[in-house]
């Protein structure tokens, strides 16, 4: 709901209010963002009663100190000296702007917009500001998403002046919060260590989160949170912000000399310059805001519901995602048709639903130095071609998925030989390579058309029901001879990318699009408007994945996080983790497998089959349930996901303590009066884990590492303690004691044996008791 009350504009969602006031001077004062309020609106304002010395007052008619006011947006040159969301060389050649309120309109639904944005808003308000001297307009656009407690903001700038206006910085939104006792929570990292949560206390000055790689990047996710110092997962105030954009982003929190926080997010001004001729306009990406007074879990629920309901493509909303087997980690580039078919057959037997053929299927691509750009099938590897392969996979009753990296080219390719000018480079300068590849110039319409044609022709060759869209290098040498101003490069590139993705989605709505960029290098809301899931990281080691998935879970729902079970020892960490733990982590997301299932030991095959059956049974909960984090102590994690009074809990132990403490099982979101049957998913205990200790567990006359035990080990597992409880919600909230963990003496089947990297899944289901 959006309405005007006197000079105030009130935006409301189910639980939140967002209020600003149109001041007599024409400036917009930010008044309130928080739990829904019906207060007297003037009482919610910051009370400036005497000014603060050494201040500049706006005008004789309106002697207001803009520097002290909480504002909705601010411009350079009229007395506000805080960090600015906007910088432009105005048509009159000055940097000074004087935008004032002109009009507003309230409409139903979302605003029609070229950039990807959230759909099906309840209401939208367009507030037009006008700079009379320059004849330039700015629209501040706000939409409310009632049920999900989110508000989006974006901006359009229109130049009506004969002279050109040159934008250097234009943030999608700005908000002034008149307090500073907040922590800034960001999600940062790099390749194989994406979205680790970092917490910084704020003090005076500016804090920024940005990417300059051409993508939203694995260095700093565009999403971030401001949380009061005493906020935790279930208690306290927090503001969540994200941006529907896949290119260079910039967000900043500036704490003023009077302890007011100015928060902004938008396109990164780094190398950005956008000229606007007469009657041209510029649209910013859309920013997303939410607020929680009930801790970070509630903040996540708002964001999750918003993404599942308004960001991901309509036909993917609520859709149960298939369990894939991806051949990359099994074979890398070294495969042939026989190997692929064999792998697919084995995968099918385990219950896999989609077979994904990753990199290496085209051209002469036998390593990462060649072939990118040429999507003609490699007949040496796949003599029957894609169509026949897809048919074979389909006959096994599995979908067929295919990997592409459409934005890139290797110099050793037919495409590059024919069109070297398609790759970006600065004239007379040798371009730098990343993963041996160059970036195609998506600022050039001809290249965009070529990519579409090339891609669509390949897709039309076979029955493809899933695409993995990869992008494996950062952009360098940004230059396009199609641009009059190279300051447009980064944003134009993203517009070119969105153009291709939009056509792909329109032409093949049935294809499930998973995006990827060396793992989570482009995990953002922009990509999610085209493909509903993202390969979260090339890192599938469950212990470090926990941090990645935890980080993502703050702002992205489990239905968007693609997670695979892979081999151990793990390729990147060399850590040997139990198969069960790999599943127990990967199941909190969209589950897949990425290992050579042809060579699984019999006990592993049985375990994987059971895992897949278990996941299928609870898939709807794992992908769309309400997800909860527990306040983390050190490196041990607990997650919960719930739907219709069925709850699944994942508990993860990184390093076991000698003689560990007794533990309780806690649940959230259960009804105290209801009775729950709680059981633990049986955990397979392979005898390998015991080494020479096996002689204490089972009396065997053989050497633990001898041939006999090695053979037995392929089949035989030991029983691990299982939990079965009948308890009510009150007890679960209070914590129900678990069977003790192994404390150094006596193996028996009543004692939980977790060890290092151990984990457990518990299911609590409401039952009727008479």
| C-beta of 211 vs 642, nearer to ligand GLA | 211
To the nearest whole angstrom, how small is the minimum distance from the Cβ of residue 455 to ligand GLA? Answer: 16
Q: Which stretch binds ligand GLA (CB under 6 A): 86-94, 276-284, 514-522, 761-769?
A: 514-522
Looking only at residues 311 through 370 of this chain, which bind ligand GLA when binding is defined by CB under 6 A? Answer: 328, 358-359
Q: Which of 84, 90, 174 is nearest to 130 (CA)?
A: 90
- Residue 637: CA atoms inside 13 Å, Cβ hemisphere, count? 26
Residue of 98, 122, 359, 538 marked catalytic: 538
- Residue 163: CA atoms inside 13 Å, Cβ hemisphere, count? 12
User: Which of 371, 373, 519, 551 forms a contact with ligand GLA (CB under 6 A)?
Assistant: 519
Phi-psi region of 750 (alpha: psi -120 to 50; beta: other; left: phi over 0): alpha
Structure tokens at 222: 């565009």
Task: Report the relative pairing of strands 28-35 and 16-22 from DSSP bridges.
Answer: antiparallel
| C-beta of 516 vs 649, nearer to ligand GLA | 516
Contact flag: residue 218 with ligand GLA (CB under 6 A): no
In the 8-state DSSP scheme, what is residue 285?
Answer: P
Bridge partner residues of 128 (DSSP): 103, 139
Q: Which of 150, 297, 287 is nearest to 630 (CA)?
A: 297
d(CA 280, CA 161): 10
To the nearest whole angstrom, how small is the minimum distance from the Cβ of residue 267 to ligand GLA? Answer: 25
DSSP string, 400-423: EEEEE-TTEE-SBSHHHHH-GGGB
Signed CA dihedral, 311, 314, 319, 323: sign only? negative
User: Which of 518, 566, 611, 640 forms a contact with ligand GLA (CB under 6 A)?
Assistant: 518
| C-beta of 422 vs 535, nearer to ligand GLA | 535
d(CA 159, CA 54): 34
Contact flag: residue 374 with ligand GLA (CB under 6 A): no
Contact flag: residue 470 with ligand GLA (CB under 6 A): yes
Q: Please report where in the chains the tokens 């294809």 appear, as a residue.
A: 511
| C-beta of 305 vs 359, nearer to ligand GLA | 359
Exposure letters 454-489 (e unless 16+ CB within 10 A, then b): bbeebbebbebbbbbbbbbbbbbbbebeeeeebbbb
Contact flag: residue 458 with ligand GLA (CB under 6 A): no
φ, ψ dihedrals at 372, nearest 5°: -60, 130
To the nearest whole angstrom, how small is the minimum distance from the Cβ of residue 411 to ligand GLA? Answer: 17
To the nearest whole angstrom, how small is the minimum distance from the Cβ of residue 453 to ligand GLA? Answer: 23
Bridge partner residues of 169 (DSSP): 87
User: Which of 538, 541, 580, 604 forms a contact with ligand GLA (CB under 6 A)?
Assistant: 538
Contact flag: residue 472 with ligand GLA (CB under 6 A): yes
H-helix or E-strand spanning residue 454? helix 445-461
d(CA 113, CA 116): 7
H-helix or E-strand spanning residue 346? helix 337-350
| C-beta of 518 vs 544, nearer to ligand GLA | 518
Looking only at residues 276 through 305 of this chain, which bind ligand GLA when binding is defined by CB under 6 A? Answer: none
Contacts 24+ apart (CB under 8 A), 92-95: 92/133, 92/134, 92/163, 93/163
To the nearest whole angstrom, how small is the minimum distance from the Cβ of residue 333 to ligand GLA? Answer: 8
Task: Report the relative pairing of strands 2-5 and 8-12 from DSSP bridges.
Answer: antiparallel
Q: Which of 618, 614, 646, 627 is nearest to 549 (CA)?
A: 627
| C-beta of 223 vs 519, nearer to ligand GLA | 519
| C-beta of 469 vs 630, nearer to ligand GLA | 469
DSSP string, 529-565: TT-SEEE-BS---HHHHHHHHHHHHTTS-GGGEEEEE
d(CA 278, CA 265): 27
d(CA 469, CA 461): 17
To the nearest whole angstrom, how small is the minimum distance from the Cβ of residue 597 to ligand GLA? Answer: 17
Site string for ligand GLA, 556-575 (x = CB under 6 A): --------------------
To the nearest whole angstrom, how small is the minimum distance from the Cβ of residue 515 to ligand GLA? Answer: 10
Residues 6+ apart with CB under 8 A from 243: 172, 222, 223, 249, 251, 265, 266, 285, 286, 287, 288, 524, 525, 526
Contact flag: residue 215 with ligand GLA (CB under 6 A): no
To the nearest whole angstrom, how small is the minimum distance from the Cβ of residue 358 to ligand GLA? Answer: 5
| C-beta of 64 vs 534, nearer to ligand GLA | 534
To the nearest whole angstrom, how small is the minimum distance from the Cβ of residue 352 to ligand GLA? Answer: 17
| C-beta of 74 vs 560, nearer to ligand GLA | 560
| C-beta of 470 vs 760, nearer to ligand GLA | 470
Active site residue 183: no
In the 8-state DSSP scheme, what is residue 370?
Answer: B
- Closest residue to ligand GLA, judged by C-beta, is 359
| C-beta of 359 vs 541, nearer to ligand GLA | 359
| C-beta of 198 vs 339, nearer to ligand GLA | 339
Contact flag: residue 516 with ligand GLA (CB under 6 A): yes
To the nearest whole angstrom, how small is the minimum distance from the Cβ of residue 16 to ligand GLA? Answer: 37
| C-beta of 522 vs 626, nearer to ligand GLA | 522
Tell me the Cα Rg of the chain.
28
Active site residue 470: yes
Q: Which of 443, 498, 86 is nearest to 269 (CA)?
A: 86
C-alpha 614 chain-centroid distance: 25
Other residues' Cβ atoms within 10 Å of the Cβ of residue 685: 23
Structure tokens at 679: 């059981």
To the nearest whole angstrom, how small is the minimum distance from the Cβ of residue 534 to ligand GLA? Answer: 11
Contact flag: residue 403 with ligand GLA (CB under 6 A): yes
Q: Which stretch binds ligand GLA (CB under 6 A): 77-85, 150-158, 181-189, 516-524?
A: 516-524
Number of residues that bind ligand GLA (CB under 6 A): 11
Contact flag: residue 713 with ligand GLA (CB under 6 A): no
To the nearest whole angstrom, how small is the minimum distance from the Cβ of residue 473 to ligand GLA? Answer: 10
d(CA 414, CA 182): 55
Residue of 98, 188, 470, 524 marked catalytic: 470
**Orientation angle between helical segments 602-617 and 337-350, nearest 10 degrees:** 60
To the nearest whole angstrom, how small is the minimum distance from the Cβ of residue 355 to ligand GLA? Answer: 14
Bridge partner residues of 11 (DSSP): 2, 18
Q: Which stretch binds ligand GLA (CB under 6 A): 51-59, 513-521, 597-605, 670-678?
A: 513-521
Residues tagged active-site? 470, 538
Contacts to ligand GLA by CB under 6 A: 328, 358-359, 403, 470, 472, 516, 518-519, 535, 538
């Amino acid at each position: 709901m959006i309405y005007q009350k006197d000079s105030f504009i009130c935006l409301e969602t189910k639980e939140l209010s967002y209020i600003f006031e149109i001041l007599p001077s024409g400036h917009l004062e930010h008044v309130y963002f928080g739990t829904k309020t019906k207060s007297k609106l003037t009482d919610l304002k910051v009370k400036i009663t005497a000014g603060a010395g050494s201040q500049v007052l706006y005008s004789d008619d309106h002697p207001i100190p803009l520097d002290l006011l909480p504002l909705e947006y601010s411009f350079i040159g009229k007395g506000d000296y805080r960090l600015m969301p906007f910088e432009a060389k105005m048509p009159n050649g000055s940097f000074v702007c004087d935008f004032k309120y002109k009009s507003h309109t309230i409409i139903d639904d979302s605003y029609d917009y070229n950039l990807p944005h959230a759909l099906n808003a309840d209401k939208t308000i367009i507030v037009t500001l006008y700079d009379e001297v320059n004849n330039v307009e700015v629209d501040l656009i706000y939409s409310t998403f009632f049920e999900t407690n989110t508000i989006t903001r974006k901006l359009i700038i229109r130049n009506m002046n004969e002279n050109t206006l040159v934008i250097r910085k234009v943030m999608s939104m700005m908000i002034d919060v008149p307090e500073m006792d907040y922590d800034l929570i960001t999600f940062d990292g790099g390749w194989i260590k994406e979205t680790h949560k970092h917490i910084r206390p704020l003090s005076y000055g500016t804090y920024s989160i940005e990417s300059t790689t051409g993508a939203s990047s694995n260095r700093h996710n565009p999403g971030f949170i401001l949380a009061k110092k005493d906020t935790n997962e279930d208690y306290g105030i927090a503001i969540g912000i994200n941006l529907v954009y896949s290119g260079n982003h910039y967000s900043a929190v500036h704490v003023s000399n009077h302890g007011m926080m100015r928060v902004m997010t938008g396109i990164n001004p780094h190398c950005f310059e956008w000229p606007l001729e007469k009657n041209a306009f510029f649209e910013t990406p859309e920013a997303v805001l939410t607020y929680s007074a009930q801790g970070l879990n509630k903040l996540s629920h708002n964001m999750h519901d918003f993404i599942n309901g308004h960001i991901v493509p309509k036909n993917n909303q609520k859709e149960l995602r298939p369990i894939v087997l991806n051949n990359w980690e099994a074979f890398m580039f070294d495969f042939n048709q026989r190997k692929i078919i064999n792998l697919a057959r084995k995968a099918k037997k385990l219950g896999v639903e989609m077979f994904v053929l990753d990199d290496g299927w085209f051209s002469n691509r036998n390593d990462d130095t060649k072939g990118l750009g040429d999507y003609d099938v490699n007949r040496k590897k796949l003599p029957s071609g894609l169509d026949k392969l897809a048919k074979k996979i389909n006959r096994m009753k599995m979908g067929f998925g295919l990997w592409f990296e459409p934005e890139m080219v290797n110099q050793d390719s037919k495409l590059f030989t024919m069109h070297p000018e398609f790759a970006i480079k600065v004239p007379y300068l040798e371009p730098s390579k990343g993963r041996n590849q160059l970036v195609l110039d998506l600022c050039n319409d001809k290249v965009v058309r070529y990519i579409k044609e090339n891609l669509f022709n390949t897709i039309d060759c076979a029955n493809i029901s899933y695409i993995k869209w990869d992008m494996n290098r950062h952009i360098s040498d940004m230059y396009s001879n199609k641009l009059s101003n190279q300051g447009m490069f980064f944003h134009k590139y993203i517009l070119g990318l969105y153009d291709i993705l939009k056509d792909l989605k329109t032409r093949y709505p049935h294809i499930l699009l998973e995006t990827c960029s060396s793992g989570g290098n482009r995990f953002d809301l922009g990509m999610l408007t085209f493909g509903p899931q993202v390969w979260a990281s090339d890192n599938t080691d469950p212990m470090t994945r926990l941090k990645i998935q935890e980080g993502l879970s703050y702002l992205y729902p489990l239905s968007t996080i693609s997670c695979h079970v892979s081999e151990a020892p793990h390729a990147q960490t060399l850590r040997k983790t139990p198969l069960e733990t790999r599943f127990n982590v990967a199941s909190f997301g969209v589950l897949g497998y990425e290992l050579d299932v042809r060579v699984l030991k019999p006990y592993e095959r049985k375990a994987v089959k059971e895992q897949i059956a278990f996941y299928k049974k609870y898939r709807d909960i794992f992908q769309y349930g309400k997800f909860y984090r527990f306040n983390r102590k050190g490196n041990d994690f607990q997650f919960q996901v719930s739907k219709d009074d069925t709850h699944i809990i994942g508990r993860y132990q990184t390093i076991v303590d000698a003689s560990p403490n007794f533990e309780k099982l806690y649940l959230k979101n259960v009804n105290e009066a209801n009775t729950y049957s709680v059981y633990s998913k049986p955990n397979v205990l392979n005898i390998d884990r015991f080494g020479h200790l096996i002689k204490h567990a089972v009396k065997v006359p053989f050497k633990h590492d001898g041939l006999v035990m090695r053979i037995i080990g392929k089949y035989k597992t030991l029983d691990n303690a299982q939990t079965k409880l009948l308890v009510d919600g009150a007890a679960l909230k209070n914590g129900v004691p678990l069977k003790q963990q192994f404390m150094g003496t006596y193996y028996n089947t009543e004692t939980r044996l977790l060890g290092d990297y151990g984990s457990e899944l518990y299911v609590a289901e409401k039952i009727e008791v008479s």
